[in-house]
Amino acid sequence: MSAADDQLGARVRALAGAVEAIDGRGTPDVVAKAKAVVERAGERVAFSGSYTVVAFAGATGSGKSSLFNAVTGTDLAHVAVRRPTTSKAMGVSWGGQLPHELLDWLEITKRHLVPSGPNEFSDLLLIDLPDHDSTELTHRLTVDRLVQLVDALIWVVDPQKYADAALHDGYLKQLAPYAEVMLVVLNQADRLAPAELDCCLSDLRRLLDSEGLRATPIMSTSALRGTGIPELREALARTVANKQAMARRLSADVGVSAAALATDLGGNPAPFVSDSARHNVIRVLGEAAGVPVVVDGVRGAWRRRGAVATGWPFVTWLARLRPDPLKKLRLDLTPADHSPTELNRTSLPKASSVQRARVEQGLRELTDSAAEGLPRGWAQGLRDASRSSQSLLLDRLDTAIAGADLTVRRGTWWWAIFGVLQWLLIAAVLVGVGWLFANPVLGAMGLPSIPAVLWYGIPAGTWLLVGGVLAGILLGVLGGALVEIGANSHARAARRSLDAAIAAVVTDEVLAPVQAELDRFQRAHAAVRAAQG
């Protein structure tokens, strides 16, 4: 296998990769044509890569069948006054055996073998096509089908209709990428004087050049007189000997399809998800899932629990009457808080219609920013990718919130110290009360009284009572201030933890599918470039 064949194989594989990536996103007709090229290339090589398939094509009255007979040295092609003459495509090959599999693939039932030993046409399959301007639709359809399959084309024209629009607009202009595997033959040259023939050939050359067919050679022949037949046979022999017609034809097919796919993809810069769009959709989905509610719950739970642990015991019972915000949301539960028949899910309020609308808006802004400049099919693919898990998205977010580390139980070690101090002060208050009222009670009972102890002229019991109350209140105020600082700090920490949990879900369920779609677009572009060579 030559380097050119290796390169062609690589381009065909790249085109197959491009088709796979673009299928369902690009224009269906363009993708279908490229897919057909991939299939056709594989089939053509598999059936008979050693044969060169050349077709004679021409209009009614151009003398195509006569020229076919002159070149093959047979009378296989029917020549008659009735038009059109060629009703079905006919295949002719030389040697000892027909390439039946190749002919079956071409769907040619009329087939003839010219028995011969090894010669310049041994690997040639020559096809006589029906007239491309036939009034019979089946004839034209056969021409259109085989023009897409053969390796090389010889267009036979005559002096009267060489500039016919049916030929140039219907075929030659569209086949400009295949200029190297085509030959235009001006037949019936015997009808023209030498000067007229030169003028006719010059005009034909000008027409072909204007249609992008500069690489297509032209020649003149006369099937009647045999003029130009040896030169035409020699051109065919060179084509067969070079064994490049099939590769050039397939290379042109791949190039045309790759160019069409490149146009369909567009030439805009590579799309990407901007950081602002990424952060915005995470924020919006977090709000819809209830992150602000949970953050406020962490702050409120810390305030309540801290007040109960560090506050003045005579008033902390009021704080105990308020429900714990996190437990109300079924968050930060201990094993004892769980019911054996309940799932460990939150009790966050369902997203409101406004929040759902914001989710839709956030997803739309995400895909709109990423899809800017993309073709319609790819933009729709991005939108579908962003919503591929939308039905389960809020449930996944709720689960993420339930599993997030809210850090509520951290940093509470000092609460115990404040609690011990508060109860010591309560003990001092009780001792002070007992000391103040002990002597009257003892006196009423006829028991000896406790000696009075004065500090700065004030009974010690009074000091214990008043001091314990004031110190307890001051300690409670200090504890409340510290609890408030801790509540805000833990709320910020919880926000970070929740944002990370929400971001992980959004990345998996929204951003990853969107990025996969963008990566697919990049693969398509790279494959198309490789197919273009």
List, for residues 259-291, the tens digit of each pLDDT value: 999 999 987 777 788 888 888 888 888 888 788
333 and 451 both lie in a single domain:
yes
234 and 326 both lie in a single domain:
no
Structural domain contains residue 302: yes
168 and 238 both lie in a single domain:
yes
Structural domain contains residue 385: yes
CA 465, distance to chain mean position in Å, is 77
420 and 304 both lie in a single domain:
yes
CA 234, distance to chain mean position in Å, is 51
Residue % of the chain over a pLDDT of 70: 89
Q: Domain boundary residue among 192, 222, 242? A: 242
Structural domain contains residue 33: no
The answer for residues whose C-beta is within 8 angstroms of residue 287's C-beta and 6 or more apart is 355, 358
The answer for residues whose C-beta is within 8 angstroms of residue 409's C-beta and 6 or more apart is 332
Structural domain contains residue 29: no
Euclidean distance between CA atoms 518 and 345, whole angstroms: 35
Residue 498 three-state SS: helix
Q: Domain boundary residue among 199, 223, 242? A: 242
Euclidean distance between CA atoms 515 and 513, whole angstroms: 5
236 and 151 both lie in a single domain:
yes
User: Tell me, what CATH number does 146's domain have?
Assistant: 3.40.50.300
230 and 283 both lie in a single domain:
no
Radius of gyration of the chain (CA): 46
Euclidean distance between CA atoms 147 and 129, whole angstroms: 9
Domain extent, residue 184, equals 51-242
233 and 283 both lie in a single domain:
no
CA 503, distance to chain mean position in Å, is 21
353 and 497 both lie in a single domain:
yes
336 and 461 both lie in a single domain:
yes
pLDDT of residue 456: 74
pLDDT of residue 498: 87
211 and 302 both lie in a single domain:
no
Structural domain contains residue 13: no
96 and 203 both lie in a single domain:
yes
310 and 192 both lie in a single domain:
no
Structural domain contains residue 269: no
Euclidean distance between CA atoms 465 and 436, whole angstroms: 9
Q: Domain boundary residue among 242, 258, 286? A: 242
Which has the closest alpha carbon to 17: 449, 522, 477? 522
Structural domain contains residue 146: yes
Structural domain contains residue 520: yes
In the chain, which residues have pLDDT < 70?
1-5, 48-49, 77-87, 317, 319, 332-352, 354-355, 391, 439, 442-443, 445-452
pLDDT of residue 81: 44
Total domains, the chain: 2
